[in-house]
A and B are shown apart, each in its own frame.
Chain A
Amino acid sequence: MRIIVHKNKCQGHARCWAQAPDIFNLDDEGYILPGDIEVAERDELLASRGARSCPERALEIDATADALLTRLLFNQACGGVK
């Protein structure tokens, strides 16, 4: 699973960090660091809870971003695995 971070929407509520401080990293001002977050399978529940807690809707759960699927699609596009 991947969390898409809309950094410009973050207002520093830090509710995601309160749920999962190891998944959602904040800068010195207390706002989310830029860049989407790849979530390991074991952390998915916690991460989605954190994403859903954002009052500004700055965190979007990208359920289509299955790592294995992405790799397969990439390989396919490159003429790899059929």
Chain B
Amino acid sequence: MACKPVPDHVPPEMVKDFSLFTSPGMERMPNGDPHAAVACLHDAPPIFYSPNNTRDGRGTWVITRAKDQRRVLQDTATFSSHRSIFASALGENWPMIPLELDPPAHGVFRSLLNPLFSPKRVMVLEPVIRERAITLIDRILAASTSCDVMKDFAFPFAVSIFLGFLGLSDKERDTFVGWGRDLLHGENVKRTAAALAIVGFIDELAAMRRKEPAGDFMSFAVGAQVNGRPLTDEEVRGIGVLLFVAGLDTVATAIGFDLAHLARNLKDQQLLRSEPDRIGLASEELLRAYSTVQMIRVATKDIDFDGAPIRKGDYISCATMIANRDPEEFDCPNTIDLAREDNRHTAFAHGPHRCLGSHLARREIVIGLEEWLSRIPDFRIKGGTAPITFGGHVFGIENLILEWS
């Protein structure tokens, strides 16, 4: 994709040849470490302009420091989320909800959805999550002394819990995972096809649940009210599509990066195996070190941001993987210290758009690691194999072949 010219208002000295898509270390490669590759941005100025930093070749301002990202993400009046990224892939214009709404409309939908994802509600799901993890791991153990964590554990685990939450059948899991992969990582044609498939699926599901409620999430959505009125079809679609997309690969990717770290760092693996009480704290450090998401905001007005002349309509990138390696925020940010305290990382973003599913994600990651470590003996990356990682707007890991004896 050709990148667009740098706008005139951007001073040439603020342009930096960096891109989450094309910079060294961002490409798909065996044994890559895209997180380490972006960490070196902290030697650069805290804000700069990247001419080619979205999938469609647009330029963005890049905010590297944690405290500056917090400022951007907390100030929704200046930095809007209204982008319709999903719909625009289809040439349409409707927001994913609540992600692409700004306050005050945003708050109305957050209040509707928050109770379904609250920490206390997630505690109720704990036994189901744990049972799912145990079933999958026992199956792996019975079959072999090696497996592909992504294919055999991380994806089936995270996606089936999410589908169960949405009230969807686990049988079509591979189809859904394929849509998610094409949507997030595919080229344009695949991406549009996947987007169409997901919208069609959500619309159809909503229609079915309108006819016959089933006590699941989509039944809740079609029956819900905001401001004393039922949701419109477009709102139900916006919510359904967001939850569907958000749950497909984030947790699986986190588990993949975490187990890759433990496979390569046997001391850390030993520590968590012998003292499982540390897994909760450790999982926060792993979220910090291997966060995967980039938030993009759009300026609603002209502002001067510490000398950067941001103009209305400019894109501002807040990449969690960059802020989480900020030495002003974290001592020795590139050292992964599973006992790190005061770890106010930004893996789930800041501000009103804090990840709605963060509490569910955290429980899944902790339970996944607990059950894996308590059942699978000392594991390492299988000789002759290499995990393939990649950068981009969502960082990822494709495969992780582990072995044990």
Contacts and interface: CB of A to CB of B under 8 A. Distances in A.
Contacts of B120: 26, 28, 30
B352 interface: yes
Given A13-B354, A14-B359, A56-B74, A30 B117 contact: yes
Interface string B57-88: 00000000000001000100000000000000
Given A26-B120, A55-B345, A11 B354 contact: yes
Interface string A54-70: 11100000000000000
Given A11-B351, A55-B345, A26 B119 contact: yes
Interface size class of B (residues with CB under 8 A): 20 to 34
B342 interface: yes
Nearest to B114: A29
A13 B115 contact: no
Interface of B (DSSP majority class):
helix
A52 B359 contact: no
A2 B327 CA distance: 30
Interface of A (DSSP majority class):
loop
Contacts of A30: 114-115, 117-120, 359
A26 B352 contact: no
Interface in A1-39: 9, 11-15, 17-18, 26, 28-31
A12 B344 contact: no
B345 A26 contact: no
A29 B354 contact: no
A14 B350 contact: no
B374 interface: no
B344 A26 contact: no
A17 B359 CA distance: 12
Nearest to B346: A55
Given A26-B118, A28-B115, A53 B342 contact: yes
Nearest to B66: A55
A17 B111 contact: no
Given A29-B111, A30-B114, A30-B119, A12 B354 contact: yes
Given A11-B351, A30-B118, A30-B120, A53 B359 contact: no
A55 B119 contact: no
A12 B354 CA distance: 8
B118 A28 contact: yes
Contacts of A9: 74
10 contacts: A12-B118, A13-B354, A17-B119, A26-B118, A28-B115, A30-B117, A52-B342, A55-B346, A55-B350, A55-B354
- The list of the 5 closest CB pairs from A to B, nearest first, reads A30-B118, A29-B114, A11-B354, A55-B344, A14-B119
Interface of B: 70, 74, 110-111, 114-115, 117-120, 280, 341-346, 348, 350-352, 354, 358-359
Interface of A: 9, 11-15, 17-18, 26, 28-31, 49, 52-56
